[in-house]
Amino acid sequence: MSAELRALVTGASSGIGAVYARALRARGERVVLVARRAERLAELVRELGGEEWAMAIPTDLSAPGAAGKLFKETEGRGLAVDLLVNNAGMGHTAPFEEQPLDVVRAMLDVNVRALVELTHAVLPGMKERSRGRIVNVASNAAFQPVPFLTIYAATKAFVLSFTEGLAEELRGSGVRVQGLCPGLTRTEFLEVAGTHRGLKVTRTPMMTAEQVVEASLRGLDRGSLRVIPGWTNRLAVFAQRFVPAALPRRVAAELYRPSKEGPRGS
Hey, how many other C-beta atoms are within 10 angstroms of the C-beta on 203?
9
Burial class (CB in 10 A: 0-12, 13-18, 19+), 243: exposed
| Sign, CA torsion 213/218/223/224 | negative
E strand segments, the chain:
4-10, 31-34, 54-56, 79-86, 132-137, 175-180, 185-186, 207-208, 226-227
- Rounded CA-CA distance 70/67 in Å is 5
Residue whose C-alpha is closest to residue 181's, from 243, 265, 238, 133: 238
Which CA distances in Å does 257 have to 71, 146, 261?
39, 10, 12
Active site residue 152: yes
Hey, how many other C-beta atoms are within 10 angstroms of the C-beta on 105?
13
Catalytic residue among 152, 162, 189, 256: 152
| Sign, CA torsion 19/25/27/29 | positive
Hey, how many other C-beta atoms are within 10 angstroms of the C-beta on 11?
25
Q: What is the DSSP letter of 195?
A: -
- Rounded CA-CA distance 168/188 in Å is 33
Active site residues: 152
